[in-house]
């Protein structure tokens, strides 16, 4: 992988964690996961997903496995959807964001029920809305930045 | 902030507050974990008061459930009037509520609520919240009491972790061992159930700790703390040990007073100085043997 790509994913991970701290409950790394599926080879995507999975699982309060379900369902929805839509279409990303928002609500409620926890439904609903809105916008920005990176260190 | 007697204090830094899509609860992440000797339910405090308790552990980090989370419930007592209740979180930026405060119980606005220690997680007497409103009325048998936490979650940077000191742990293990050896005893047939539950040491049963007749020990049945407590209320070993020791004393020496046979302990759980109290007579030892197959 080129140094510019390494730098891109490193900065993206740091920025994503910072944004997650600013707006809790929203996954800012999920658009990067989809972008890596679209643009990178699968070993790169795999290791990025493992890194982000550990971050989400370690920082979150749900039982272990929620992150695996989260990213697994996201990858499943993407592969299912790209048979029907153009994979790099903004409309497809918008639909994927809506599905991700619904998945966040479902996953939080199910994991809360399994752990016998009381979940603040109003807050989860707001997080779902933010997730659905932020996902396609962030993916669009990432797509533009990624495809305008210099090809090598000497290129300007 | 000085830790309570029998507890040690350790500091920790907060790595993050709520983070990511899995942050469904009101938690913070601290930089100490299992390798630093933490356990689930380790009390976490700040100079202002109780912050929460450890919810999940990893080797080098731990999730702390804040008292503002709806899943947090802590038994508390008001500092002045000693009115007891259960402090419950209601979510971020919302007032806490105190549940199960009877209508007639005195409690004032501005009064500080301190931990009562009944759940045996937090030490007794730590400030937890301040009463903001007391609402009486309606058809409920309980008052509606609102309180505010003493700390601001967003401004927390460091916290203190409380752990039982090594000496206190040894005493607790000894008391647990004594309970196990004293367990299979037969209470006297003429003893009333309440006396069996409250013990013979002169300590009266606390309100809410009254034991139902069917919860008393049957012949050959082990007397466990769970049998003398109401659901959700833990009973300290000190409350059960005198009872069993007194029953043994009566069995060994019919007609003798039960009080001298009780091995008194200081309020902090430490053993008294040698000679400060009469030891159990050796004659009572055979009666302690568990009755196998009884």
Residue of chain B whose Cα is closest to the Cα of A57: B22
In this complex, is the C-beta atom of B68 within 8 Å of any C-beta atom belonging to chain A? Answer: no
Q: Which two tokens stand for residue B138?
A: 């309606």
- Measure B33 CA to nearest chain A CA, in Å: 12
Residues 13-32 of A with CB under 8 A from B: 17, 20-21, 24-27, 30
Instruction: Give the domain ranges of chain A.
Output: 3-146
Residue B91 Cα distances to A121, B65, B95, angstroms:
11, 12, 8
Percent of chain A that is helix, strand, coil (3-state, to 5): 75, 0, 25
Say yes or no to pLDDT of B228 above 70. no
Q: Is A60 within 8 Å of B20 when comparing Cβ atoms?
A: yes
B233-274 per-position pLDDT tens digit: 444 444 444 444 444 444 444 443 333 333 444 444 444 444
- Using a CB-CB cut-off of 8 Å, the residues of chain A touching B64 are none
Q: Is A61 within 8 Å of B55 when comparing Cβ atoms?
A: yes
Region B217-232 average pLDDT: 41
Residue of chain B whose Cα is closest to the Cα of A127: B21
Say yes or no to pLDDT of A4 above 50. yes
Q: 3-state DSSP call for residue B228?
A: helix
Closest CA to B100 of B255, B7, B221, B230: B230
Q: Is A60 within 8 Å of B23 when comparing Cβ atoms?
A: yes
pLDDT at residue B259 in the model? 38
Residue of chain B whose Cα is closest to the Cα of A100: B21
Neighbouring-strand partners of residue B149: B129
Domains of chain B and any CATH numbers: 7-69+156-164 (2.40.10.340), 73-151 (2.40.10.350), 168-288 (no CATH)
Q: Is A24 within 8 Å of B18 when comparing Cβ atoms?
A: yes
β-pair type (B127-135, B27-30)? unpaired
| Backbone torsions φ then ψ of A122, nearest 5 degrees | -60, -40
Q: Which of A60, A126, A138 to mutate to test the interface with B (most CBs of B within 10 A)?
A: A60
pLDDT at residue A154 in the model? 52
pLDDT at residue B292 in the model? 40
Q: How confident is the model at residue B210 (pLDDT cuts 50, 70, 90)?
A: very low
In this complex, is the C-beta atom of A131 within 8 Å of any C-beta atom belonging to chain B? Answer: yes
Q: What is the ipTM of this complex?
A: 0.84
Q: Is pLDDT larger for residue A149 or for residue B17?
A: B17
Q: Is B23 within 8 Å of A59 when comparing Cβ atoms?
A: yes
Give me the residue from A24, A58, A117 closest to B58, CB to CB. A58
pLDDT at residue B184 in the model? 53
Q: Is pLDDT larger for residue A71 or for residue B168?
A: A71
pLDDT at residue A151 in the model? 66
SS3 sequence, B21-74? CCCCCCEEEECCCHHHCCCCCCEEECCCCEEEEEEEECCCCEEEEECCCCCCEE
B149-191 per-position pLDDT tens digit: 999 888 889 999 998 887 666 666 676 677 766 655 444 445 4
Say yes or no to pLDDT of B95 above 70. yes
Helix or strand holding residue B16 (H, E) = strand B7-16
């Amino acid at each position: 992988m080129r140094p510019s790509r390494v730098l891109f994913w490193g900065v993206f991970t740091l920025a994503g964690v910072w944004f997650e701290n600013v707006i809790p409950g929203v996954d800012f790394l999920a658009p990067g996961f989809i972008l890596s599926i679209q643009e990178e080879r699968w070993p790169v995507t795999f290791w990025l997903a493992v890194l982000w999975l550990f971050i989400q699982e370690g920082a979150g309060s749900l039982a272990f496995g929620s992150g695996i379900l989260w990213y697994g369902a996201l990858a499943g929805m993407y592969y299912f959807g790209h048979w029907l839509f153009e994979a790099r279409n903004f409309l497809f990303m918008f639909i994927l964001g809506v599905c991700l928002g619904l998945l966040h609500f479902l996953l939080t409620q199910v994991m809360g029920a399994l752990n016998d926890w009381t979940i603040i439904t109003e807050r989860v609903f707001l997080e779902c809305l933010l997730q659905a809105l932020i996902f396609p916008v962030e993916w669009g920005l990432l797509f533009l930045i990624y495809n305008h990176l210099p090809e090598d260190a000497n290129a300007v | 902030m000085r830790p309570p007697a029998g507890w040690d204090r350790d500091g920790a830094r907060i790595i993050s507050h709520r983070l990511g899509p899995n942050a469904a609860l009101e938690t913070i992440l601290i930089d100490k974990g299992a390798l630093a000797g933490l356990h689930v339910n380790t009390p976490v405090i700040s100079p202002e008061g109780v912050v929460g308790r450890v919810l999940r552990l990893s080797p080098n980090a731990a999730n702390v459930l804040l008292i503002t989370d709806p899943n947090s419930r802590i038994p508390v007592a008001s500092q002045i009037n000693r009115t007891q209740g259960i402090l419950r979180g209601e979510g971020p930026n919302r007032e806490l509520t105190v549940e199960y405060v009877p209508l007639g119980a005195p409690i004032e606005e501005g009064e500080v609520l301190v931990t009562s220690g009944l759940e045996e997680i937090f030490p007794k007497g730590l400030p937890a919240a301040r009463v903001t409103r007391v609402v009486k009325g309606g058809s409920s048998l309980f008052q509606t009491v609102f309180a505010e936490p003493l700390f601001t979650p967003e401004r927390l940077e460091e916290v203190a972790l409380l752990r039982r000191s090594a000496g206190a742990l040894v005493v607790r293990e000894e008391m647990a061992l004594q309970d196990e050896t004293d367990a299979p005893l037969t209470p006297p047939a003429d003893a009333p159930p309440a006396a069996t539950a409250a013990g013979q040491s002169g300590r009266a049963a606390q309100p809410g700790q009254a034991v139902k007749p069917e919860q008393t020990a049957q012949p050959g049945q082990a007397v466990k703390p769970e049998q003398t407590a109401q659901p959700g209320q833990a009973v300290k070993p000190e409350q059960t040990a005198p009872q069993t020791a007194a029953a043994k004393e009566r069995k060994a020496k019919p007609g003798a007073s039960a009080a001298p046979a009780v091995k008194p302990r200081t309020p902090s759980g430490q053993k008294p100085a040698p000679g400060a109290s009469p030891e159990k007579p050796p004659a009572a030892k055979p009666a302690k043997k568990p009755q196998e197959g009884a």
